[in-house]
Chains A and B, each alone.
Chain A
Amino acid sequence: DAKTTQPNSMESNEEEPVHLPCNHSTISGTDYIHWYRQLPSQGPEYVIHGLTSNVNNRMASLAIAEDRKSSTLILHRATLRDAAVYYCILRRRRNQFYFGTGTSLTVIP
């Protein structure tokens, strides 16, 4: 089973960095690590993904552990618009995406 484990909730002050952790100890060599976020009453939206190396894009950075059993999504400066539920997902063969319960991020002004 493509299971990931994330904290239920986290808080961050506005303008500060946020590190959202994810454990995926059952990851296989071909699984990609994806992160999505979901704003209230909307469908999830893509944030970032990677396989082995750390990745950066305009939204966030993804740090992947050397053994790939965990990863961390980094938001460099949290804004109020970043308040959402963040999902860490393993993309498995045949492009199956299995979502866990995610981390609800609260950004404090």
Chain B
Amino acid sequence: NAGVTQTPKFRILKIGQSMTLQCTQDMNHNYMYWYRQDPGMGLKLIYYSVGAGITDKGEVPNGYNVSRSTTEDFPLRLELAAPSQTSVYFCASSPEPGQGLLYTIYFGEGSWLTVV
């Protein structure tokens, strides 16, 4: 029962460095999402995808890029890390309406990123 798997779990980046947060799901869900959560705050949608080859911006896309070459994978790229990107990042997926018995969103365990 893997569900949504994110790596790495923890990472410290220096300002200006780049990195990719990996996300994969094994539930054959068409929809995938990336959220960030700052301390004491709710989740903000960064990017989402409705299927392989299709991505769209959420509420806070600046400073990030995504790609969706397969149904399973949805990596999030930080090109020039800034302290404002220090946050917890959650990847999630959801099925199409009618695709699953329970139509809802499933989250990974989170990736803690610190930019210094």
Q: Is the CB of B104 within 8 A of A44?
A: no
Q: Is the CB of A34 within 8 A of B109?
A: no
Give the contact stretch, choosing among A16-24, A60-68, A72-80, A97-105: A97-105
Given the known inter-chain contacts A34-B104, A49-B104, A87-B42, please indicate yes or no for A98 contacting B59, CB distance below 8 A. Answer: yes
Number of A interface residues at 8 Å Cβ cutoff, please give it.
19
Q: Is the CB of A95 within 8 A of B31?
A: yes
Docked CA distance A97–B19 (Å): 25
**Closest B residue by C-beta to A6:** B42
Contact indicator per residue, chain B 36-60, by CB within 8 Å of chain A (1) or not (0): 0000011111001010000010110
The 3 closest A-B pairs by CB, nearest first: A43-B107, A99-B43, A101-B42
Which A residues lie at the B interface, using CB under 8 A?
34, 36, 41-46, 49, 87, 94-102
